[in-house]
Amino acid sequence: MRKSKSKMVKDGCMKKTIVASLVIILSMIGTNIVQAEEKPIKKEMIYSIVVDRFNNGNQTNDNQVDLDDPNSYHGGDIQGIINKLDDIKANGFTTISLAPTMANAPSQYHGYLVEDFFEIEEQFGTIEDLKKLVKEAHDRNIKVVLEFVTSYVAPSHPLVDDPAKTNWTKDATVKDTQWLDDAITLNQENPEVKDMLFKAATFWLEETDIDGYKLHAIDQSSPAFLREFIDQLKTVKPDIYVLGDVLKDQQLGNDYLNLGIPLIENTPMQKSMVKVFSNIGTPRKKTV
């Protein structure tokens, strides 16, 4: 019984992920920046994956799985993505973009509440699994991009209660956002915070050979921070792919569009498109 329910959830998630990914790609806006790669990033077909909800390839790491709780982990992992790479390739995708894979708070399947920037989430597998995914993807000419949260940490991140790091965080919170009401805002103006984020970004680039990052919620960071961070990333990997997404696009002025981020995910537009494509009969024909 449990097995068949798991399979249904898995299949349903796969279909939803395909639809969501197509919509995300269609809703991306671009600037005129071209990667120092043989292929401009705007020509990539990008498949976005929420790791926990994609495919369960290793049931030995399912100790926090609770299929009855929509906010809890449901079992998807890195091995599950490896198992589906041939299907992703067959569907024409050239890049996969993974929602955050760093060590993450319990019952936060999405990955956005990071507890440790230098460890992989144990529900998703090991760093060896991630290295294997990147190698297997590259063998199929598929690039791998990881989403990176630079603006927040989980309340359970050790730095939050460290008396020596009170100036690493800010009192500011972002409400009315999916998943992030409990997040603790990082003080990105603090050089030590910037240094930690840069070291973490360098670690994953060098250890796993990923092709780039999608910077989460760029509207929650200052353009000055983003410019400095992206410039630093390019010193480690000159041809890095850098993408971004936004929480509230009304905060996204022109200064964000000239930072060297060739693709920015436009969430409000994506939501409108999901509404249209997920309802039969929409858009309606105009009647005279």
List of residues contacting Ca ion (CB under 5 A) = 56, 58, 61-62, 75, 77, 104
Q: How far is the CB of 34 from Ca ion (least distance, A)?
A: 38
Q: Which is nearer to Ca ion, 133 or 240 (CB)?
A: 133
Q: How far is the CB of 121 from Ca ion (least distance, A)?
A: 5
Cα separation, 71 vs 66, in Å, equals 9
Q: Could you tell me the two tokens for 143?
A: 């690039």
Of 216, 213, 142, whose CA–CA distance to 174 is shortest?
A: 216
Q: How far is the CB of 160 from Ca ion (least distance, A)?
A: 15
SS3 62: coil
Q: How far is the CB of 58 from Ca ion (least distance, A)?
A: 5
Q: Answer for the pair 156, 84: CB distance below 8 angstroms, yes or no.
A: no
Q: Which is nearer to Ca ion, 77 or 129 (CB)?
A: 77
Q: How far is the CB of 96 from Ca ion (least distance, A)?
A: 18
Q: Which is nearer to Ca ion, 56 or 208 (CB)?
A: 56
Residue nearest to Ca ion (CB): 77
Q: How far is the CB of 106 from Ca ion (least distance, A)?
A: 6
Q: Could you tell me the two tokens for 124?
A: 């998703």
Element spanning 144, H or E: strand 143-148
Cα separation, 127 vs 192, in Å, equals 25
Q: How far is the CB of 224 from Ca ion (least distance, A)?
A: 32
Q: Which is nearer to Ca ion, 61 or 266 (CB)?
A: 61
Per-position b or e across 79-105, b if 16+ CB within 10 A of its CB: bbbbbbbeebbeeebbbbbbbbbbbbb
Q: Which is nearer to Ca ion, 81 or 263 (CB)?
A: 81
Q: Which is nearer to Ca ion, 79 or 97 (CB)?
A: 79
Bridge partners, residue 148, by sequence: 215
Cα separation, 35 vs 54, in Å, equals 29
Cβ-Cβ contacts under 8 Å for 285 (sequence gap 6 or more): none
Q: Count of CB atoms within 10 A of residue 272's CB?
A: 13
Q: Which is nearer to Ca ion, 35 or 104 (CB)?
A: 104
Q: Answer for the pair 273, 27: CB distance below 8 angstroms, yes or no.
A: yes
Q: Which is nearer to Ca ion, 24 or 65 (CB)?
A: 65
Cα separation, 72 vs 123, in Å, equals 11
Q: How far is the CB of 243 from Ca ion (least distance, A)?
A: 25
